[in-house]
Amino acid sequence: MNKNPQTHIIDGKSIAARLRETLAEEITRRNLTPGLAVILVGDDPASHVYVRNKMTACEKTGIKSFEHRLGQDSRKEDIAALITALNNDSQVHGILLQLPLPPALAMVQDALIQMIAPHKDVDGLTVTNAGKLILGMPDGMVPCTPQGSLLLIKEIQKDLTGCHAVIIGRSSLFGKPMGQLLLAENCTVTQCHSKTRDLPSLCRQADILVVAVGRPHMVKGDWIKPGAIVIDVGINRTPEGTLVGDVDFDEAVKTAAAITPVPGGVGPMTIACLLRNTVRAAGEL
């Protein structure tokens, strides 16, 4: 890797730590007791790691966490009953249904998400919160990974007015809400996907390039416009066990003005923004 000496490696770990400190100070100053409930269904090893990381972050920040583990063979009715109980629990300000659910529940996953009370939907996935984001209503919950990605972009450039932002990915979990957040920042947004023609050419036009497709090293160095801000949301494990992003970091770092590493970029911000949404929910009740 011959890094451009002027390229800024965006340190998501330190930025997330700073956000958690700010949240801890707000909890103390406002005498809040935020509560986050996480529902973990099944035995997926990655989900168990993610939940453990979230619980640890809650503890360090001053948020009370409630972990609810349900078995692999749980029924929709079991999860629905738990969500209803948490909706009515005054100690719980945020509810997170850890995804993915076991394959047998895949068909009812969205229905269960929609059962979460919108004001406790700290993942921002309910129809109510998605609609508020599209309409630009400030009282909605914004999904954590797009929210964290925007904060990382604004660490590099505060005013994004007129920037051309290219997003690779159109999922409801990330791509679509990311587009809405950048539109709200007065960017011109191009949303790309698997059917997009001449993707490299579009990427070369991007002042801000955000990549979330789940394909290791898909975006090559010569796809990057000189001076671009590159946000790599992908987390992929190679056959050797190494974590890599969707962007070929070693190549892109030679051209980009700023780029997130994998790991240590977007990931820590996702958890920090989950805590941010929980504190916000507690403060608004």
User: What is the tens place of the pLDDT at every residue in 134-191?
Assistant: 999 999 999 999 999 999 999 999 999 999 999 999 999 999 999 999 999 999 999 9
Of 55, 50, 64, 51, the C-alpha closest to 92 is 64
Asked if residue 190 and residue 98 are part of one domain, the reply reads no
The pairing of beta strand 243-244 with beta strand 236-237 = antiparallel
C-alpha separations of 173 from 100, 147, 233 in Å: 12, 11, 12
Tell me if 171 is assigned to some domain: yes
| C-alpha span between 193 and 170 (Å, rounded) | 6
pTM of the entire predicted model: 0.95
Sign of CA dihedral 121, 124, 126, 132: positive
Read off the CATH number of the domain in which 259 is found.
3.40.50.720
Given the residues 3, 11, 43, 54, select the one marked as catalytic.
Answer: 54
| Parallel/antiparallel/unpaired status of strands 208-211 and 243-244 | unpaired
Domain assignment present for 12: no
- 236 vs 263: CA distance, rounded Å: 10
Is residue 54 part of the annotated active site? The answer reads: yes
Number of domains in the chain: 2
For the question of residue 110 being annotated catalytic, the response is no
Tell me whether residue 132 is in a domain.
Answer: no
pLDDT of residue 16: 98
Q: What is the pLDDT of residue 59?
A: 95
By the 8 A CB rule, do 275 and 53 touch?
A: no
Residue among 120, 121, 123, 225 flagged as catalytic: 123
**Residue 127 within any structural domain of the chain:** no
For residue 284, tell me if it sits in a domain: no
* CATH code, domain carrying 52: 3.40.50.10860
A 10 A CB-CB count for 94 gives 29
Measured between alpha carbons, how far is 148 from 57 in angstroms, rounded to an integer?
A: 15
- Give the DSSP per-residue string, 92-136: --EEEE-SSPPGGGGGGHHHHHHTS-GGGBTT--SHHHHHHHHHT
List the domain range (segments joined by +) for residue 233: 143-267
Is residue 199 one of the residues assigned to a domain?
yes
Asked whether residue 43 falls in the same domain as residue 115, the answer is yes
Per the listing, tokens 């400190």 go with 21
Indicate which residue of 76, 89, 91, 98 is catalytic.
98
pLDDT at 46: 87
**Average pLDDT across the chain, whole number:** 96
Does 62 share its domain with 148? no
- Do 148 and 263 share a structural domain? yes
Reported confidence tier of residue 12, pLDDT bands at 50, 70, 90: very high
Residues 237 and 163 in one domain: yes
Arithmetic mean of pLDDT, 221-234: 97
Tracing tokens 């390039």 back to the chain, one arrives at: 209
Spatial contact of 139 and 173, defined as CB atoms under 8 Å apart: no
- Among candidates 47, 36, 32, 20, which has minimal Cα distance to 120? 36
* 176 part of a folded domain: yes
Q: For the residues 24-35, what does the mean pLDDT come to?
A: 97
pLDDT at 285 over 60: no
Domain assignment present for residue 9? The answer is: no
Orientation angle between helical segments 144-156 and 266-284, nearest 10 degrees: 110
Q: How far is the C-alpha of 152 from the C-alpha of 233, rounded, in Å?
A: 11
Q: Is 98 a catalytic residue?
A: yes
CA 275 to chain centre: 12
Q: Are residues 38 and 82 in the same domain?
A: yes
The share of the chain scoring above pLDDT 70, in percent, equals 98
Specify the 3-state DSSP secondary structure of 243.
strand
pLDDT in tens, 186-213: 999 999 998 999 999 999 999 999 999 9
284 pLDDT tier (thresholds 50, 70, 90)? confident
194 and 147 housed in the same domain? yes
